[in-house]
Amino acid sequence: MTPKEILWANADTLEQATQAAFEAFQTYKHSSHFIRAELLAAMAVGISQRRHELVQRMITEAGKPHLLANGEIDRAIQTFKLSAIETLRWGGHTLPVDIDPNGRSYGEALVRWVPRGPVLAISPFNFPLNLGVHKVAPALAVGATVLLKPPPQAAGCAFILHEIYEDAIGQIRDRELGETIPKAAFQVLQASPEVIGKAVEDPRFGVLSFTGSDKVGWQLQAKATRKKVILELGGNAAVIVHRDADLQRAAARCAYGAYAYAGQVCISVQRILVDQQVMKEFSAQLIGEIKKLKVGDPADPATLVGPMIDSNAANRVMSWVDEAVHAGAKMIQGGERQGNLVHPILLTHVPLNEKVVTEEVFGPVAVLQSYDKMGEAIQEVNRSRFGLQAGVFSNDHTLIQKVIRQLDVGGIIINDVPTYRADVAPYGGMKESGIGREGPRSAMEAYCEPQTILTSTSRELL
Please answer whether residues 170 and 15 qualify as being in contact, where contact means their C-beta atoms are separated by less than 8 angstroms. Answer: no
Catalytic residue among 38, 61, 72, 232: 232
Catalytic residue among 72, 157, 254, 266: 266
The rounded distance, in Å, linking the Cα atoms of 359 and 356 is: 6
Identify whether 157 is a catalytic site residue.
no
The number of residues in the chain equals 462
Q: By C-alpha distance, which of 213, 214, 251, 235 is closest to 390?
A: 235
Identify whether 266 is a catalytic site residue.
yes
The rounded distance, in Å, linking the Cα atoms of 344 and 289 is: 11
Backbone torsions φ then ψ of 364, nearest 5 degrees: -80, 65
- Chain centre to alpha carbon of residue 311: 24
The rounded distance, in Å, linking the Cα atoms of 447 and 439 is: 12
Catalytic residue list: 232, 266
